[in-house]
Amino acid sequence: MKSAIASVGFAASAAAKCLSGKAIVNLDITTGPAEKLGSGFLYGIPNNGTSASNAIPDHFFTDIKFHGTRAGGSQLTDGGWSSGGKRAYDQRFNSTLSTYRSARKYGGHFILIANDLWGADGGQDGALYPGDDGDWTETEAFLDQLIIDMRANNLIEDVTIDIWNEPDYPMFWDRSWGQYLDYWNHAYNYLRKNIPEVKLGGPAAAYAPDLSREKWHSFLANIAANDTIPDQYSWHHIGDDSNWPDRSASQFRQLREQYSLPERLISVDEYAWPWRQDPANTAWYLSQMERNDIVAMRAHWGSKEDLHDRMADLLGKTGDGNYYPNGEWWMYKYYAEMEGERAETRVSEDVNFDVFATIGDGVVKVLAGTRTYELDPEVGDYVLEVNGLDSALGLDPSGTIAVRTYRFDYEGAFGEMGPPADLGTEDHDLSDGSLRILYRPANNETAYAFEFDF
């Protein structure tokens, strides 16, 4: 008989000095259908005039069950409406329209970033901001033009307008916080009155909700007092290891209840620094987002034309314009193939190891990944614990189960990769209806998936 805690044979050792922690899957508790909440990205689609793009082959979108993107013509011109005038705005709007039509081509949702069209997409060098000197004339002229263009081009269906991107970050809002709150209320009411069929989102904050962040308190107090509550709450998860998605979702729930605000869809519409965009970290992020029912879009770190290409670094591109998948795209493809009901999961105690699991048509799939951490040979392995194989699946609580393992390798955004490595099938013992697998990744970029039939 094998040990009840078995190694899958990828640099794991039962002789490790201790265990670093344990991620848990509970198969007898489900949390709703798998809907690929994390299969979206910021920008990432080539422009094609005002038409849907045809540059990237369709299967790269359909194979990952692409659910949406977020764009506003950023970086294509020097400035937008506020500093580049109508001509710069038109170029940015045409790009926005092309991206919208591309998203709809694949059935995806679209988030329109209003401040990118305005021209505040990374510093405005002293240009006009909405509400300067208490004057809303230019703001309303901009919103009028945007509404006219959206209606004229049927940029309406399945659209959310992000009223402003990262207003809590000076690069995008170089004015007082009070002026931002005034702008939020003004723009919200203007858009709600003049284009009510389009949803509104925000605050698209750079810093995730935290009970200690005064700007979150004042924003929520403001929207509660003025009845300017968005259709979806949004923020970003980039860099801040002290406030991971599990924690920020909990903190936001407390804040929302404190200000008597209604539940809404939550959108984390940018996540992951560039050095956190690899199979291991992305599997960790997807696990966190799925657990909290957060619709999420990966960040894009390209600039100029590259911002509008390569599906936010999921694809490489040859000199003659042909696209190919990297290792992370293959992991998104596997994630998209995780069908059925989501099983309840829990992150490891140190928050570095997490899992997403589904119970499909006779198969359980578990995607596992680690947030970048120090791979210390003196520290023990993590454990993946899957419970309820007897109560949920009807298996013998002390029997054996054949588990197939896949490894997702990565050689950078431009490293062409094939499908994940199939590490084969190994029999594992069950103990009290639970399966336990020692888990230590080959490196900080490698993710794994485990499957077994029932």
313-332: per-residue pLDDT in tens? 999 999 999 999 999 999 99
Q: How far is CA 383 from the centre of its chain?
A: 26
pLDDT recorded at residue 202: 98
Q: Is 60 exceeded by the pLDDT of residue 2?
A: no
Category of 226 on φ-ψ map: left (φ > 0), alpha (ψ -120 to 50) or beta: alpha
Q: Is 60 exceeded by the pLDDT of residue 5?
A: no
| Alpha-carbon dihedral sign for residues 34, 35, 38, 39 | positive
405-452: per-residue pLDDT in tens? 999 999 999 999 999 999 999 999 999 999 999 998 999 999 999 999
Residue environment code for 115-151, b if the CB has 16+ CB neighbours within 10 A, otherwise e: bbbbbbbeebeebbbbbeeeebebbeebbebbbebbe
Whole-prediction pTM value?
A: 0.95
pLDDT recorded at residue 16: 42
Nearest C-alpha neighbor of 71 from the set 39, 50, 97: 97
117-143: per-residue pLDDT in tens? 999 998 777 789 999 999 999 999 999
Torsion of CA 233, 331, 395, 433, to 10 degrees: -70
Q: What is the mean pLDDT of the chain?
A: 94
3-class SS of residue 4 = coil
Q: What mean pLDDT comes out for the span 1-23?
A: 51
Q: Is 60 exceeded by the pLDDT of residue 12?
A: no
DSSP H helices, 265-405, are: 279-291, 327-336
- pLDDT grade for 20, boundaries at 50, 70 and 90: confident
CA distance 359 to 184: 42
Q: Is 60 exceeded by the pLDDT of residue 11?
A: no
CA distance 35 to 311: 19
182-221: per-residue pLDDT in tens? 999 999 999 999 999 999 999 999 999 999 999 999 999 9
Range in 14-28, 81-95, 340-354 with the lowest mean pLDDT: 14-28
3-class SS of residue 333 = helix
pLDDT recorded at residue 123: 77
Q: Report the percentage of the chain scoring pLDDT > 70.
A: 94
376-412: per-residue pLDDT in tens? 666 668 999 999 999 999 999 999 999 999 999 999 9
Range in 147-156, 230-239, 373-382 with the lowest mean pLDDT: 373-382
pLDDT recorded at residue 380: 66
